[in-house]
Amino acid sequence: MKHKIDLYKCYKKTNKKSIKPSLNTIVIIVPIIVLITVLVSFYNQQMQIKQRTSELQVNQKYLDDESVKLEFEEVIEMQTTLESKVEYTKQLDDLNEVLGNKKKIYSYVFNAIEAVLPQEVFVDLVVVEKFDVVIHFKSSSPTGPALLARNLRRNSSFTNVTYNGMKQEGGSEATLYTGSINLNLTGGF
C-alpha cells in the first residue's frame, strides 16, 4: 500500500504551532511586560535622581567653598567701589566743566578802558565786580565824558553802557568835569 504524504501541509502545521504562542502565554506575558516597563521607568527615574543629587552636592560644595566665597565677595566689593568712583568721576567732570567756564577778571578789563580814554579824561576809580563795571572819571574838557561814553559803547568788550552825566567842579583856573559810567562786561562770570 502506497501512502501519499503532503509535505507542504505537514510543514505548515508544524510551523504554525511553533510561531504562534498560546493564549495563556500571552495573557501572562502582557502584564509581565507592563510590569517590567514600569519597573524600568522607576529604575531610570531613580538613576536620574541619584545623578542629579550628586551633581547638586558637587554644586553645593563649590558654593560653600570658603575661598570661592571670599573671592566673590572681594570682586563684588571692587565692583561697588568702581561704581562709586565712576559716579564721583562724573561729578568731578561736571564740577570742572563749571569751573573751567568761569570767566576770570584779567588786566584786559582795565587795558580796554584805558585804551578808549580821550586825552583830556583821567580815570579816578574803576570798580569791577563780576560783570558790572563802574568808572569814575575826571575830565579837563566838557566834551571828554561824552567822548569816553561813546568810545566805551563802541567797544565790543563792553555792553549796556550807561552814562550818568557830568558835573563841573573846581574854580575857573582848574575846571574839572567829574562823573561816572556804568557798563557790563560781555561774557559771564
136 CB contacts (<8 Å, ≥6 apart)? 123, 124, 125, 126, 127, 178, 179, 180
Which CB sits closer to other proteins, 12 or 55? 55
Which CB sits closer to other proteins, 15 or 41? 41
Which CB sits closer to other proteins, 51 or 143? 51
Smallest gap from residue 4 Cβ to other proteins (A):
36
Alpha carbon of 120 to those of 32, 58, 148, 165, 177: distances in Å?
130, 98, 10, 16, 10
Smallest gap from residue 71 Cβ to other proteins (A):
5
Give the closest residue to 153 by CA, choosing from 129, 126, 181, 131.
Answer: 181
In whole angstroms, give the CA distance from residue 118 to residue 183. Answer: 17
Which CB sits closer to other proteins, 10 or 39? 39
Smallest gap from residue 3 Cβ to other proteins (A):
36
In whole angstroms, give the CA distance from residue 175 to residue 166. Answer: 12
What is the Cα 10 distance to its own chain's centre?
94
Q: If you ran DSSP here, which 8-state letter would residue 1 be given?
A: -
Which CB sits closer to other proteins, 74 or 169? 74
Smallest gap from residue 171 Cβ to other proteins (A):
19
Which CB sits closer to other proteins, 11 or 108? 108
Smallest gap from residue 161 Cβ to other proteins (A):
8
The answer to whether the CB of 176 falls within 8 A of the CB of 136 is no
Smallest gap from residue 44 Cβ to other proteins (A):
10
- The grid coordinates of residue 28 equal 501572562
